[in-house]
Amino acid sequence: MSSTELFAHENAILCEARAIAAQENQHAEIYRQALAALAEHYARMMRESHRLISRSDRAERELNRLNEQLQDLACALEYKATHDPLTGIYNRSAIIDRVQRALDAGPVALTVIDIDHFKRINDSFGHPTGDAVIRSLIRRVQTILDEGDSIGRIGGEEFTILHPRAGLEGAHATALRIRESLNAEPLAELSEWPVTASFGVSWAARRTPFDELYSRADAALYEAKQQGRNRVVTAD
């Protein structure tokens, strides 16, 4: 839209004023009237500009406020979409995504953890206690993890640790430390029942598909269960 159209009225007044100003021998009253008319329109322009500016300032403020709110909501949504509500660690899709991205960048060690006889805990003490055990165990694991490690809940009582910096031996050592910690000191939530876990550890070179890395760790975990639980098995 051209400004001439939007300011057609103002333009007409401007042309009129210029035409009068170009006349050299007009009566003083003509100049006086033209000046008064111009001043009146000038005042109106000022008033309208002021209103427009203050309205747009208010709208801008409101827009900024809403934008901040949107950012906050987007962050909250992103967090909810990627985290397990019970434990606060990554959820299944988020940890898988992180492992996949780590595999795109380099070799990766992976540990799968499964709480031993978790069904019995649930059946004997109830689901709220089961949930508390999971939360407590995760807090314990988090104090043992190496810097850079990520943990996610794959489902139920099964968790995955991504070790992007450790080799197979480093990941194995971390799993051993977790196992030893659980054996040395029972979880506060269930001190009368020694909660243990079984661990499967695997390693894969860069660009290995996630499923391959994961199923090797899962097979090692199965082996650990078969061998009597409460142990760490490394994939071949």
Partner 1 sequence: MDNLHLPATASTPLVDFRYDAHQLRLEGESYPENAAAFYGPLAEGLRAYVAGLQGGEQVEVHVALSYFNSSSTKMLFGLFDTLNQAAEQGHRIALHWHHDREDDIAEEFGEELHIDFPALAFHAHPAD
- Residues 197 and 116 sit within 8 Å (Cβ to Cβ): yes
Least CB distance to partner 1 at residue 54 (A): 8
Rounded Cα distance, 145 and 76, in Å: 26
- Considering only residues 4 through 23, tell me which ones interact with partner 1, judged by CB under 8 A: 5-6, 8-9
Among 14, 19, 30, 59, binds partner 1 (CB under 8 A): 59
Q: Which residues sit opposite 155 in a β-bridge?
A: 158
Question: Annotated catalytic residue: which of 60, 62, 157, 212?
Answer: 157
- Residues 121 and 129 sit within 8 Å (Cβ to Cβ): yes
Q: Does 67 bind partner 1 (CB under 8 A)?
A: no
Least CB distance to partner 1 at residue 46 (A): 11
Q: Does 55 bind partner 1 (CB under 8 A)?
A: yes
Q: Give the CA radius of gyration of the chain.
A: 36
Helix axes 28-82 and 92-105, enclosed angle (nearest 10): 90
Question: Smaller CB distance to partner 1: residue 59 or 73?
Answer: 59
Among 14, 21, 48, 139, binds partner 1 (CB under 8 A): 48
**C-alpha separations of 45 from 6, 18, 34, 55, 77 in Å:** 13, 18, 16, 15, 46
Question: Smaller CB distance to partner 1: residue 60 or 169?
Answer: 60
- Residues 179 and 231 sit within 8 Å (Cβ to Cβ): yes
- Considering only residues 28 through 47, tell me which ones interact with partner 1, judged by CB under 8 A: 44, 47
Query: Does residue 147 have an active-site annotation?
Result: no
Q: Which residues sit opposite 234 in a β-bridge?
A: 201
By CB under 8 A, the count of residues binding partner 1 is 16
Residue ranges binding partner 1 (CB under 8 A): 1, 5-6, 8-9, 44, 47-48, 51-52, 54-56, 58-59, 62
The set of catalytic residues is 157
